[in-house]
Amino acid sequence: MKICGKCGFENDANETVDCPKCGAIYAKVEKAKLNASTVRQQEETISQKIEKEMGSSYVPDENLYLWEQEARQDRDAYPFIAGLSTFFVFAALLTGVSCIIGAYHFWDILTQLQFFSDRGKIFLFVAIALTDAVSVGTLLAISATLTLGRDIANNTRASREYLLKLATAKLK
């Protein structure tokens, strides 16, 4: 009696090579199971070797989640880029505040001069507000681009380190 490894069907005929219920070939299913168990064993040995190599040099903080640890490693790996990105956020904030103050001051000057009509004053005020919004948006875009570049560089570095550890673990 043969039992199908794929669907679990019990076949009374010993001379068949495939399962009458699902059509799986017995030899291929057994070979696939052996290969899967071999791959699982290799992955476990590689993981154990990496854990032995790292030893006590890596002690994760139990209060941090994994993504927080990764974010901290990102900031530690590229501190200049993180600082530059923060600088552009503060520059955008200061630009926005100074633009608002400047727009109100400009509105006061326009109302005192009586040079433009009301429609012209509103048009100039809206034009200045749009220009200021574009300036702030540009600074924030630069900050986001720097952060994105840092994240891409860190992911590339982390992938390289992981692949190197896997390669050296397989060679040992």
Per-residue pLDDT of the chain (172 residues), as tens digits, is 677 777 877 777 776 777 877 877 877 878 888 887 888 888 888 877 777 776 655 555 555 565 666 667 766 767 788 788 889 899 999 998 998 888 888 878 877 877 777 787 788 888 888 998 999 999 999 989 988 888 787 778 778 777 777 777 766 5
Q: What's the farthest any 2 CA atoms get from each other in the chain? A: 105
Separation of alpha carbons 7 and 91, rounded Å: 64
**Residue 78 confidence (pLDDT):** 74
Three-state SS at 156: helix
Q: What is the pLDDT of residue 47?
A: 77
Task: Note the pLDDT of residue 64.
Answer: 52
Two tokens, residue 164: 């190197």
Listed in sequence order, the residues at least 6 apart from 50 whose beta carbon sits closer than 8 Å to its beta carbon are 165, 166, 169
CB 140 within 8 A of CB 89: yes
Q: Report the pLDDT value the prediction gives residue 39, as an integer from 0 to 100.
A: 80
